Amino acid sequence: MPQVFFFGDSITAGEWDHQGGWAIRMANEVQALAIDSNLERWVVAYPLGIGGDTSTGLRARLLAEVSLRLDADESGFIFVITIGINDVHSDNLAGSLADTLTRYRENLGAIVSAIGQVGGVTLFVELTPVDEGFVDPLTGDLRGDAYRNDRITAMNQVLADFCAA
């Protein structure tokens, strides 16, 4: 029985989404396929998004989360990861944007290395652009915290380069 692990932040967790977010919808589809096939296509899906999570946070929790759910008697582990948008939130920048991009690349390497201990396929999902009119600055935030597309684009470039290597 294959197992699919969806890791990420609030977007993966489905916060602010009446239908539970993309990972929940995919998990529901996988379960529907299993039921409709009379369990011939049985797959277990785990939506494991945490609001506000960063690549550093995911790096720290990934193996613990997987070890609680991993069925070692099975094969076909799939890891779907979308992480990083909170790394470039102005409150989480590691000094400069360049420092943050370096930390992100290092965390991606550590995440893939951790997954390598388990085995399986890793799929990364690009970070989504934002409507800066709503999040630059965040509404009601007196500190000026923001999500900005120029930072998200820089993160996506690091992710693309990492995946291409």
Q: Where are the domains of the chain?
A: 3-164
Helix (H, G, I), strand (E, B), or coil: what is residue 142? coil
**d(Cα 44, Cα 96) in Å, to the nearest integer?**
40
Fold of the domain spanning 3-164: Rossmann fold (3.40.50)
CB atoms closer than 10 angstroms to residue 111 = 21
Q: Which runs of consecutive H residues, i.e. helices, occur in 7-96?
A: 10-13, 22-36, 55-69
pLDDT digits (tens, 9 = 90+) for 113-155: 999 999 899 999 999 999 988 887 776 655 667 888 999 999 9
pLDDT digits (tens, 9 = 90+) for 6-39: 999 999 999 888 888 899 999 999 889 889 998 8
Which pTM was predicted? 0.90
CA torsion sign for 22, 58, 77, 152 is positive
pLDDT of 39 reads 82
**d(Cα 37, Cα 33) in Å, to the nearest integer?**
6
